[in-house]
Amino acid sequence: MKKLTHGKGFWTAIVVVAILSALIQFLISGGTLNSFYVNTIFYIGINIILATSLHLIMGITGQFSIGHAGFLAVGAYASAIMTMKLDLPFPVAILAGGIAAGIAGLIIGIPSLRLKGDYLAIATLGFGEIVRITFLNIDYIGGASGMQVRHLTTWPWLVACVVLTVVVITNFTNSTHGRACISIRENEIAADAMGINTTYYKVAAFVIGSFFAGIAGALYAHNFYIIQPTNFGFLKSFDILIFVVLGGLGSMSGAVIAAILLTIISTFLQDYSETRMIIYSLVLIIMMLYRPQGLMGTKELTSLFKYRGTGKGGMPNDNKQTIA
């Protein structure tokens, strides 16, 4: 049996994240960064969680979902109820947001994931709109006026949630369960013929992705002071979808890079909504024309740091396997 170890890419990423996190925390604590830049950085972290969670559903399992904002809303409101109505600690609220969104993913996943392609996209889009309209008519959480939420999201909590999301989804992808999901993406009929329970793995990926979208919702709710149902419309789902498609279906690194770039563009052009949509459209058109596989395709940044041993004559030894 081959021994699987973490490669240089994994430890390089850990070191880079630790250094950047400490530096940003120092800048925030010292007041060097004003509120605009702090909010932008926090929004980048939240979007990274959303992009990687949808990456598991679309990029790894191949399920076309455009209702991810619905799970974001479920997590946001569930966590807000925990802190504002029940006066529970913030960590409990984060976990409650993730669990609530995961349950919602299970409820919508069992019946709808028997669908494929456009039919699944329509079903998930309908789910997102049902969630938004439901919250719009519940007075307990403020209805259309929205719900006020205390600012509890901090940089350490955000970094911890981002790292947890990336590590869990990466390990799931590299496990036998992740390989089963990839086989479903490549050829669902062949995977089913080989004895893989395709419905089970599609629902499992949907629940895990929904869970982390709920965690992103908890961080989102406690960072912007007020949440309204209009914040979670179908356009929000399309924003998250663009992260995954632009980055490259099947590449987590691509989804993260796209989330960072598009969040920065969107933030600095927030006063010019028409210009922002024109830039979005141009970027997508150019990308589809010249690089239809996305920024990274199916490759990961860690592949640049993979170590391969050498055999006789200095030739690469392909018998040694490392997973970054």
Using DSSP's 3-state secondary structure scheme, residue 61 falls into: coil
324 residues of the chain, pLDDT tens digit each: 344 445 566 677 778 888 988 999 998 888 888 888 899 999 999 999 999 999 999 989 888 888 899 999 999 999 999 999 999 999 999 999 999 999 999 988 888 777 777 788 888 889 999 999 999 999 999 888 889 999 999 999 999 999 999 999 999 998 999 999 999 988 888 988 888 888 889 899 999 999 999 999 999 999 988 899 999 988 889 889 989 988 888 888 889 999 998 888 888 877 776 777 787 778 778 877 888 788 887 777 766 655 444 444 444 444 444 333
Q: Tokens 């041993």 appear where?
A: 309
Cα end-to-end span (Å), the chain = 18
Q: Kindly report the backbone phi and psi dihedral angles of residue 255, in degrees, each rounded to the nearest multiple of 5, phi listed first.
A: -65, -40
Q: Kindly report the backbone phi and psi dihedral angles of residue 85, in degrees, each rounded to the nearest multiple of 5, phi listed first.
A: -100, -40
Using DSSP's 3-state secondary structure scheme, residue 316 falls into: strand
Task: Write out the two tokens for 291.
Answer: 């690089």
